[in-house]
Each structure stands twice: as structure tokens, then as C-alpha cells.
Structure 1
Amino acid sequence: MIAIITGDIINSENYPSSEWIPILKEYFSRFGTSPMVWEIYRGDEFQLKVNQENALFSAIQIKAILKSIKGLDVRMGIGIGLETFTGSGVSESNGPAYQRSGRKFDSLKESKVNLSIATGDESHDKTINLMLKLALDFMDNWSVVSAEIVTMILDNLEASQKELALKLGIKQSAVSQRLKRARIDLVLELLAYYENLFKLPQ
């Protein structure tokens, strides 16, 4: 079982790609090389192959990274399932994971949400997508400062507020305020829920 994240950058036409493509490529490179594991195509669309356990974590990280650039956001459809054909790149491979991801991504604009998951299990999907819809209510409104602190936390879950304060050159109380505004507690609870209940059969 794998997860495919299909996405596109919201408002990319208003920004030079040099502002966000290098950051995105750097993040994607953690998972492997292009084009087998990830591809950026048609200017502002992408596909990324990750482990099913990491899918939601990775998607939220991508969102936080892009929202760290003022005005940018991202739409993503996550598909979980098998890979039945490996092409010369991720965009040419196929299987239920790819099909679910593509269909989910295509339905995002119509359903007016920026992140949704298809696992092949309707009851799982219904629950996690409702939770995501509620979480997006604040994640879509992350400020640059909130997105930056979420990016830092997800990069180092063990980091203390003191360490974050030193890194950012601000007071610990300011870090605490930023984390509260970003609703990091709810983000981590959502990820824990996904990790515990979404460990799908191998």
C-alpha cells in the first residue's frame, strides 16, 4: 500500500516560481528522486509518492511550507491503495492509489475543500474527511507566522518552546502564542488519529 498526493499551488500565477519551486523540490527530495517518487509538471501541479502512514503528515507539511510564503496555498487529493504499474515516472505509474488521488484532486474545487483523502474504505473516508474539513477551517487561514511555526514543529516534533524561541529570536511566550494561534494541538491530534486508526492493512 502506498499513498499518492496530487496537488496544485493556489495563486501560483501571482508569484515567480523561483519563490516556491526550490523549497518544494527540497522537501520532495526527502522522499527520493524525481521522476520516480515525485514530479512537478504543468508549472504548478505535482505528484508525490509516500508511505500510507506518512500521507496526511506530509500533506500538512506541504501546506505549512507553502503558506509560509504570503498569499500561497495548496490543493491536494490523497489516494491510498496499491501501485499496479510502475512507469518511467510517478505521473506515468498507475493503480488504485493513483486513481483515487486523481479523482479526489479533481473533485476538490467543486466540493470547495483544499485537502481530502480517498482510501477505498467509505466509513474511514467519511470520518477523516469531515475532520479535515473542520481542521481546514483554521489551516486555510494560517498566517505566514503560523505556517512557519507549524513547519518548524512538524520538522522536529521533539523541539521545546525554548528551542523554538532561540531559533526564531523571540520570547518563549511569543512562541506559545503562535502555537496557540496555529492550533498546533488540534493538528497533532488529527495526525495521531490518522496514525492510529488509519494504519490500513498491508
Structure 2
Amino acid sequence: MIAIITGDIVNSEQYPASNWMPLLKKVLQKNGKQPEFWDIYRGDEFQLKSTPDKALELAIEIKAVIKSIKNLDVRLAIGLGDESYAGGRITEANGSAYKRSGRMFEALKEEKRTLALACGHQQMDQTLNLMIKLALNFMDDWSTVSANTVSYTLQHPEISQQEMAMEFKVQQSAISQRQTRARTHLVLELIEYYQQTIKQIVP
């Protein structure tokens, strides 16, 4: 079983690609080589292959990284399933993971949502998507500072608030306040719940 994340940049026309492309590529490149494991196409659309357990965390990291630029956001659809054809390029590959991700991506556009998933298990999809929808109530409203705080926290899971304060050149109390405003603890709890839940379907 694999996970496919299909996404695009919301409001990309407001900035030159040089503003957001390097940030996006930095996240995508951690997951493997282009174009087998990820690719960017049609200007601001992209696709990424991941392991199921990492998919939601990766999607939220991408969202946080892009939202660290004012007025930008990202739309992301996660599909879990198999890969029946690889072909060397992710955009030419096929399988249930790709189809679920593609269908969910089209549904997101219609429903004006920014993140959802499909794993092929109706009750699990309903539960996880409800939790994601509730989390989007604050994730969609992250300020650039909140988004930057979340992305840095996800990229450095072992870092302490004191070490983070030194990196950001602020007081530790400021980091604590930023993480609280961004609801970082809820993000981490959502990721953990997702990882525990999909263990039921991942062989």
C-alpha cells in the first residue's frame, strides 16, 4: 500500500513561482527523486508518493510551509491504495491510490476545502475527514508566523522550545505562545491518531 498526495497552490498567481517553488521542492525532495516519487506540472500542481503512515504529516507540513507566505495556501488530496503501474514517472503511474487521490482532489475544488483523504474504507474516511475538517477551522486561518512555527516543529520533531527560541532569536515564552496560537498540540495529536488508525488497513 502507498499514499499519493495530489495538490496545487491556491492564489499562486499572486506571487512569482520563485517565492514558493523552492519551499515546496524542499519538502518534496525529502521523499525521493523526481519524477519517480514526485513531480510539479502545469505550473502549480504537484503529485507526491509517500508511505501511508507519513502522508498526513507530509500534507500538513506542505500546507504550513506554503502558508508561511502571506495569502498563499495549498489544496491537498491524499489517496491510499495500491500502485498497479509505476512507469518511472509519478504522473504516468496508476492504481487505486492515484485514482482516489485524483477524485478527492476534484471534490476538494468543488467543495472549497483544502485537505481531505480517501483510503477506501467508508467509516474510516468519514471519521478522519471529519477530524481534518475540524482542524482546518484553524489551519486555514494560520498566520504566516503560526504556519512557520508548525512547519519548523514538524521538520524538527525532537527540538525543544528553548532550542527553537534560539533559532528564531526570540524568548522561549514567545515560542510557547506561537505554538499555542497555531494549535500545534492538536496538529500533532491529529497526526498521531491518523497513524494509529491506518495501521488497521496497512498490511
TM value normalised by structure 2: 0.98
**What is the alpha-carbon distance in structure 2 between the residues aligned to residue 51 and residue 57 of structure 1?**
11
- Paired residues for 1:24-35 under 5 Å: 24-35=24-35
1:114 partner letter: T
1:113 CA displacement: 1.2
**What is the alpha-carbon distance in structure 1 between the residues aligned to residue 63 and residue 157 of structure 2?**
17
1:176 aligned residue: 176
C-alpha RMSD of the superposition: 0.7
1:41 aligned residue: 41
Other structure's SS at 2:123 match: helix
**What is the alpha-carbon distance in structure 1 between the residues aligned to residue 146 and residue 182 of structure 2?**
5
**What is the alpha-carbon distance in structure 1 between the residues aligned to residue 64 and residue 80 of structure 2?**
22
1:116 CA displacement: 0.4
1:70 CA displacement: 1.0
Structure 2 unaligned runs (5+)? none
1:139 aligned residue: 139
**What is the alpha-carbon distance in structure 2 between the residues aligned to residue 24 and residue 125 of structure 1?**
27
**What is the alpha-carbon distance in structure 2 between the residues aligned to residue 122 and residue 40 of structure 1?**
30
**What is the alpha-carbon distance in structure 2 between the residues aligned to residue 153 and residue 22 of structure 1?**
19
1:25 CA displacement: 1.2
Count residues in correspondence: 202
TM value normalised by structure 1: 0.98
- Which stretch shifts more, 125-134 or 27-36? 27-36
1:106 CA displacement: 0.4
1:118 partner letter: A
**What is the alpha-carbon distance in structure 2 between the residues aligned to residue 112 and residue 73 of structure 1?**
12
Contact 2:150 2:179 in 1 (8 A): yes
1:201 CA displacement: 2.7
1:112 CA displacement: 2.2
1:87 aligned residue: 87
**What is the alpha-carbon distance in structure 2 between the residues aligned to residue 135 and residue 34 of structure 1?**
31
2:196 aligned residue: 196
Other structure's SS at 2:80 match: strand
1:167 CA displacement: 0.4
1:40 partner letter: I
1:100-147 Cα deviation digits (max 9, x unpaired): 000000000222210000000000000000000000000000000001
1:23 aligned residue: 23
Contact 2:149 2:179 in 1 (8 A): yes
2:52 aligned residue: 52
Structure 1 unaligned runs (5+)? none
- Aligned residues with identical type, % of pairs: 54
Q: After the TM superposition, which segments of 4 or more aligned residues of structure 1 sit over 3 Å from their partners?
A: none
**What is the alpha-carbon distance in structure 1 between the residues aligned to residue 87 and residue 104 of structure 2?**
21
**What is the alpha-carbon distance in structure 1 between the residues aligned to residue 12 and residue 202 of structure 2?**
37
1:155 partner letter: Q
1:24 CA displacement: 1.1
